[in-house]
């Protein structure tokens, strides 16, 4: 009888097992490489978006204008003008010459920074509206959707640098960081503004996850007071106090108003 060449059942099972193990190792390595690539791409994209957002924040805070608004007193009188600025540890509102939306009509813009939920994601957002004087909030204006400056934010913290004399009139200057700024009580702007943004840790295996990269922005405030109000009405064409109030712009301030922005 002639002997037939071939594989036994045991040899075939061993071969298939070896092939399956090699395929499993290759698939696992490829899957880890793809996940590492995706996480690296996400990290780079998040870093780029965060850097762009931080640059925009620095630009807007650097162009902050010390716009003063008169205080109404009994009997139709007006007290000493105060800077138009509000801030606490979660939100800040200020007037700036750097707008993100109104490029076709540049001028003074009221900007707000705060945290907001957008599509289930916590973001540091910015809102804008044209600044037309103390009646800005009474003007009819449909606010556009907020602009996300930083996405997937865990928390934000705002602080303001104060300068005080301790004891008073002693010439001993002390600077402290505070969590709230009441411009009406202080009648001045802070020396600087600090914005800290806590970013989350990226999800993934422990050897692939990246540590959180918190964003910290500190911008000194160097500006001079600008008062747009003479008597009882703001400057502007026509009747600025009426429904046709127009936005203040550098072209209506004159060169003195523009050059008053602390070297900008």
Distances (CA, A) of 174 to 165, 166, 167, 170, 209: 6, 7, 10, 11, 42
Where b means 16+ CB within 10 Å and e means fewer, 46-79 reads beeebeebbeebeebbbbbbbbbbbeeeeeeeee
In a domain, 187, yes or no: yes
Q: How far is it, in rounded angstroms, from Cα 205 to Cα 35?
A: 10
In a domain, 241, yes or no: yes
Q: How far is it, in rounded angstroms, from Cα 47 to Cα 117?
A: 20
Per-residue pLDDT of 69-116, as tens digits, reads 666 655 555 556 678 888 999 999 999 988 888 777 778 889 999 999
In a domain, 140, yes or no: yes
- β-pair type (82-83, 66-69): antiparallel
Tokens read off for 175: 């600077």
Q: What is the pTM (predicted TM-score) of this model?
A: 0.67
The answer to whether residues 79 and 88 touch, using CB atoms and an 8 Å cutoff, is no
In a domain, 238, yes or no: yes
Q: Which helix (H) or strand (E) holds 228?
A: none
Tokens read off for 13: 């099972």
Per-residue pLDDT of 107-155, as tens digits, reads 888 999 999 998 888 999 999 988 877 677 666 777 778 988 888 888 9
In a domain, 6, yes or no: no
Q: How far is it, in rounded angstroms, from Cα 90 to Cα 113?
A: 8
Distances (CA, A) of 117 to 47, 94, 240: 20, 22, 36
Please give the span between the terminal C-alpha atoms of the chain, in angstroms, as a whole number.
103
Per-residue pLDDT of 176-192, as tens digits, reads 999 999 888 888 889 99
Per the structure, the complete domain to which residue 107 belongs is given by: 37-259
Structural domains in the chain (count) = 1
In a domain, 113, yes or no: yes
In a domain, 147, yes or no: yes
The answer to whether residues 84 and 92 touch, using CB atoms and an 8 Å cutoff, is no
In a domain, 27, yes or no: no
């Amino acid at each position: 009888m002639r002997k037939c060449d071939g594989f036994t059942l045991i040899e075939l099972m061993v071969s298939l097992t070896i092939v399956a193990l090699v395929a499993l190792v290759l698939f696992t390595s490829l899957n880890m490489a793809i996940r590492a690539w995706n996480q690296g791409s996400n990290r780079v994209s998040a870093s780029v978006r965060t850097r762009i957002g931080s640059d925009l924040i620095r630009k807007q805070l650097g162009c902050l204008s010390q716009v003063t608004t008169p205080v109404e007193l009994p009997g139709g009188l007006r007290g000493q003008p105060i800077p138009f600025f509000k801030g606490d540890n979660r939100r800040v509102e200020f007037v700036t010459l750097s707008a993100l939306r109104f490029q076709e009509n540049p001028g003074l813009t009221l900007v707000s920074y705060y945290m907001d939920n957008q599509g289930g994601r916590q973001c540091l957002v910015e809102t804008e509206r044209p600044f037309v004087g103390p009646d800005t909030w009474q003007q009819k204006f449909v606010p556009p959707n907020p602009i996300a400056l930083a996405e997937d934010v865990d928390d934000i913290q705002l602080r303001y640098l104060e300068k005080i004399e301790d004891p008073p009139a002693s010439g001993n200057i002390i600077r402290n960081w505070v969590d709230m700024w009441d411009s009406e009580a202080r009648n001045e702007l802070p020396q600087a503004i600090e914005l800290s943004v806590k970013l989350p840790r990226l999800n993934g295996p422990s050897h692939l996850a990246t540590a959180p990269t918190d964003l910290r922005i500190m911008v000194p405030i160097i500006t001079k007071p600008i008062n747009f109000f003479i008597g009882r009405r703001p400057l502007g064409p026509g009747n600025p106090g009426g429904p046709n109030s127009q936005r203040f712009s550098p072209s209506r301030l004159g060169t003195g108003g523009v050059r008053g922005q602390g070297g900008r």
